[in-house]
Amino acid sequence: MSSIQQQNTFDWKKTLQIGLIGGAVGVLIAMVGMVEEFNKRDIIAGTLTMGWTILSLTMLVTGLFAARAAASNASSVVGSIVAGTIFGAVMSILVWIVDKYNIRDILVNASPTLVKHLTFEKGIPNGLFMLIGLGAAVGGLGGVIQILPENIRRAISLGLGIAALLGLLQEIIQVSLANFEGASKAVEWMFGKGTEKGLSLAGAILVFVVVAAGNYLWTGNASKISAGFEKLPQSSRKSFRWLGYGLLFLALIYLPVVLGLYLTEVVNVTGLFILMGLGLNIVVGFAGLLDLGYVAFYAVGAYTVGVLTNLSGELTLNLGWNFWLALPIGVALAVLAGVALGVPVLNMRGDYLAIVTLGFGEIIRILALSDFLKPHIGGSQGIVNIPPPGFLDVIIKTPQTLYYLIVAGCLLALFISSRLRDSRLGRSWKALREDEDVAQAMGINLVATKLLAFATGAAFSGLSGSILAIKLGTIYPHSFALLISINVLALIIVGGMGSIPGVFVGALLLAGMPELLREFAEYRLLIYGALLVVMMQVRPEGFWPEATHKRELHAENAEPQAEGGAA
Amino acid sequence: MTDILTATGVTKQFGGLTAVNNLSIKIPDQSISSIIGPNGAGKTTFFNCVTGFYTPEMGAIHFRGNRIDGLRSDQVTQMGVSRTYQNIRLFSNLTAIENVMVGYEPHLKTNWLDAVFHTPRYHNDEKAAHEEAIKLIRFVGLTGLGDQIARNLPYGAQRRLEIARALASKPGLLLLDEPTAGMNPNETVEMMHFIRNLRDSFGITIMLIEHDMRLVMGISEQVTVLDFGEKIAEGTPKDIQSNPRVIEAYLGRGAATEGMAAATGKPGKPH
């Protein structure tokens, strides 16, 4: 390969390749029925549907890739336009075939409606030209975005992303904001008059401009702002920080009131995943121990609480304990299970560890399902009648009351895992993740360090499971399928391995969003898979990667203060 | 002078292959000594036996009078033996300072509860580890690079960072596995001064595996030559340079003494 020569000339082969791949993805999206199904939903009322958003996004990404493969700025844009045109052409060929021949026997979604959608209802030759033109335009836009400076690029993509998100969630936002009298006018302007779905065009532009400009100004001045903040005397810095915590606390308290029943339930589901994610993040993200059977600890927590508190009269144990008594036992048993898994796998690495933990997760689920344990934990019928606990005078049953319990759990896990991360243990875990042999040669006790990671991770999962038991009031073995482990692992990867804020981002994306977009549940796993593949290719470090701590300069500036800080 | 490390009759086998055969070495306290030999002579295997990576089948290794062969590598480190690696093995996604702080691990007492509740023990430990790291980063000449991710550091800086990490455990004996591999002559001379300075500043014993003969001859008080896992010579650099068995091992029969310096890193072993 003469790579030096290629830099000066336009790489037609690569551009063609990218265009064809993009087109193939477009065809796939159309053929699995996503275009048709998603076109039922508007992002911008009357202007842009969700189906077209996804297609355009694919075109945009195709353009981005094509531009990235090119050497100079001019050839970037040309390349992206060419790739976009090829995208459009591939789609057009599909539309033409679907229109001319009936292939619905094989591909169910190759319907006349699809043709109508993809030709903008303008008929065959004209619509196809429009499709190709759109491909060229959006692909070219991708190329232009690619050559922009990074801060502008980030501002634009964030603006587009937030606008699309608001359009997508319009109905839910509108319903929750309807509680507030003063907001109704603004809501009407942003989202239209209720009958329409999605943002109004003006609203979409406003959101885009505000978010993009805000982000641009923020990234431009963030270093100045933080420098100014650092200059403040320590006492006022501290009080600012506490003010921030206070506001956040108030926001957390009032959140369920603002969100209403449905959204609070979504937040609760997300919260349980955050709790598990924080735990698995310690095991996989910090210590690098790939655990695919993480759901086991979730099950142990849930079943412990179920067995100890239920009063159904169908099980051998009929204790009817108080939830608050059962909760620490659930967590403790999960920790025990964590250690029990940890001991045999101490000497295993990578693939072997993954397979054994996978087996462990399945063993726990199958035990729960077994006839052998049926008298004690209910077998396939599970445990019913888990009574809701009380706290002072409140019975924790509604999503709003459960919300506070889940938030408390998440805050506790957040506190513990960030404290551990910044300690000797966190460093040992990360060293273990980077190179196990060398970590041991640095004097790290592998047995203790690994078991602590498993135990802490299991504790958070057990806590999450315990709360799940009272949230559902009933637990079945199939609530603890392998898919949960995979979900939690995926949310860590998408958020950013080893990153605590990444867990929140990942949980919102992979647990919260699917909950909000239930009508498209059919495509959930497909989108999941695509997201993971794209993430690994484009942004393997995750949406919110693990931050590195600046410790050198800080130490030099703060040396006189170190005493005061430690006291 | 007392001996800080004594190995007697150490033998390490891999299947049918004897990597180290009946090797006995005495290392005087606060000395700089080198192990040389062609590739595959068993030098690194011996280091691995000393540091607990391998357990030798026969023989014994004593450090400061305590037997250390058969111990786990973390236990050996706790006793005061520390090392670097032939192919740099830093914790590549941690910062330089964090790498050194991990090296300080044997001196930390913080447990899970201390870390969560920020007890005085946690603060003391973190402060001590951090100060030690800053000090060592400065000592190895990486001031200003402490917050860089280790894998982003230039090659020479990575070598020195690895030494800083090894020093953080406050070892009595430091094993350096080819500290100048991949360095140009200037950098090699710099490394030579650095190693000597290291010994004088910290009062530690240093053992090297090296291919660069100028470095070995310029710095070592004692040189041990291995070939096919066996010790073929031992003595001062002068003795070694004129030893016919050494020259034979390196350059083949009949080669001249002057050739040795040029043979750095490329022993003429037939394939």
Confidence of residue A561 (pLDDT cuts 50, 70, 90): very low
- Read out DSSP for B165-224? HHHHT--SEEEEESTTTT--HHHHHHHHHHHHHHHHHH--EEEEE---HHHHHHH-SEEE
Judged against a pLDDT cut of 60, whether residue A559 lies above it is answered with no
Residue type, B102: V
Are A150 and A19 in a shared domain? yes
Distance from CA of B146 to the nearest CA of A (A): 6
Q: Tell whether A203 and A274 lie within a shared domain.
A: no
Same-domain status, A213 and A272:
no
Q: Cα distance from B238 to chain A (closest Cα, Å)? A: 34
- The Cα diameter of chain A in Å comes to 80
CA pair distance A79, A269, nearest whole angstrom: 44
Q: What token pair was written down for A566?
A: 């430690």
Nearest Cβ partner of A424 from B76, B77, B115? B115
User: Identity (one letter) of the amino acid at A527?
Assistant: I
CA distance B162 to chain A (A): 11
Residue A207 lies inside a defined structural domain of this protein: yes
- A180/A273 same-domain check: no
* H or E, element range at A489: helix A482-495
Report DSSP state, residue A559: G
- Paired tokens of A296: 């086991």
Mean pLDDT within A165-185: 74
Please name the member of A420, A431, A566 whose beta carbon is closest to the beta carbon of B102. Answer: A431
Give me the residue from B72, B122, B130 closest to A555, CB to CB. B130
Q: Which domains does chain B have, with CATH numbers?
A: 1-80+171-235 (3.40.50.300), 90-168 (no CATH)
Asked if the C-beta of B11 comes within 8 angstroms of chain A's C-beta atoms, the answer is: no
Quick: pLDDT tens for A513-536: 888 888 788 888 888 888 888 888
Distance from CA of A548 to the nearest CA of B (A): 7
Interface membership of B147 toward A (CB under 8 Å): yes
State the average pLDDT over residues A132-141: 93
Q: Which residues of A touch B114 (CB under 8 A)?
A: 423
Secondary element (H or E) of residue A511: none
B165 interfacial to chain A (CB closer than 8 Å): yes
Q: Is the pLDDT of residue A107 over 80?
A: yes
Q: In the structure, what pLDDT confidence band is assigned to residue A196 with cuts at 50, 70 and 90?
A: low
Distance set, CA A340 to CA A282, A413, B87, B261 (Å): 17, 22, 36, 57
pLDDT tens for each residue of A400-437: 999 999 999 999 999 999 999 999 999 999 999 999 99
In a domain, A525, yes or no: no
Residue A529 lies in a domain: no
The dihedral through the CA atoms of A237, A238, A241, A243 has a sign that is negative
Instruction: Indicate whether A542 belongs to any domain.
Output: no
pLDDT surpassing 80 at residue A172? no
Among all residues of chain A, which has the CA nearest to that of B103?
A442
- Nearest residue on chain B to A427, judged by CA atoms? B102
Task: Dig out the tokens for A131 from the structure.
Answer: 């499709």
The Cα–Cα gap between B237 and B217 comes to: 5
Q: Are A494 and A528 spatial neighbours (Cβ–Cβ below 8 Å)? A: no
Q: Does B77 touch chain A (CB under 8 A)?
A: yes
Q: Which of A126-140, A540-554, B38-52, B189-203 has the lowest mean pLDDT?
A: A540-554
User: What is the reported pLDDT for A554?
Assistant: 52
Please list, in sequence order, all residues whose beta carbon lies within 8 angstroms of the beta carbon of residue B233, skipping any fewer than 6 positions away: B223, B224, B225, B239, B240, B243, B245, B246
Could you tell me which residue, A75 or A352, shows the higher pLDDT? A352
pLDDT of residue B166 exceeding 90, the answer is yes
Is residue A243 in a domain? no
Residue A330 lies in a domain: yes
Q: What are phi and psi of B173, to 5 degrees?
A: -130, 125
Q: Are B9 and B24 in contact (CB under 8 A)?
A: yes
Q: Is A427 on the interface with B (CB under 8 A)?
A: yes
3-state secondary structure at position B83: strand
At A141, which helix (H) or strand (E)? Answer: helix A124-147
Task: Inspect the interface and report whether the beta carbons of A427 and B98 lie closer than 8 Å.
Answer: yes
CA dihedral B139, A549, A542, A442 (to 10 degrees): 50
Of A435, A437, A566, which has the smallest distance from its Cβ to B127's Cβ?
Answer: A566
User: Is A439 within 8 Å of chain B by CB?
Assistant: yes
**Which of the residue ranges A317-326, A438-447, B131-140 would you say has the lowest mean pLDDT?**
A317-326
- Asked if A128 and A48 sit in the same domain, the reply is yes
Q: What is the CATH number of the domain that holds A401?
A: 1.10.3470
- pLDDT, tens digit, for every residue of B80-110? 999 999 999 999 999 999 999 999 999 999 9
Site of tokens 């598990």:
A276
A445/chain B closest Cα distance in angstroms: 6
pLDDT tens column, A262-272: 889 999 999 99
* Within a domain: A39: yes
Distances in Å between the Cα of A370 and the Cα atoms of A80, A341, A365, B194, B199 are 57, 20, 9, 66, 65
Query: Does residue A425 belong to any structural domain of this protein?
Result: yes
Question: Considering CB atoms only, which of B73, B92, B149 is closest to A548?
Answer: B149
B-chain CB neighbours of A435 within 8 Å are 89, 91
Query: Within this chain, do residues A153 and A276 fall inside the same structural domain, yes or no?
Result: no
Q: A560 and A509, same structural domain?
A: no
Q: How many domains are contained in chain A?
A: 2
Contact A394, A324 (CB under 8 A): no
Q: Which of B106, B134, B169 is nearest residue A552 as measured by Cβ atoms?
A: B134
Using CA atoms, how far residue A466 sits from A137, A340, A378, A406, A559, in Å, is 53, 19, 17, 10, 45
If asked whether residues A265 and A205 sit together in one domain, one would say no
Chain B window 178-207: which residues touch A at a Cβ cutoff of 8 Å? none
| Alpha helices for A347-445 (secondary structure H) | 350-369, 374-377, 399-421, 424-434, 436-441
**Angle in degrees, CA A421, A440, B205, rounded to 5:** 120
Test the A interface: residue of B47, B97, B109, B112 with most A CBs within 10 Å: B112
Report pTM.
0.86
Domain of A126 in residue numbering reads as: 8-218+556-566
Q: Are strands B17-28 and A42-44 parallel, antiparallel or unpaired?
A: unpaired
Answer for the pair A6, A79: CB distance below 8 angstroms, yes or no: no
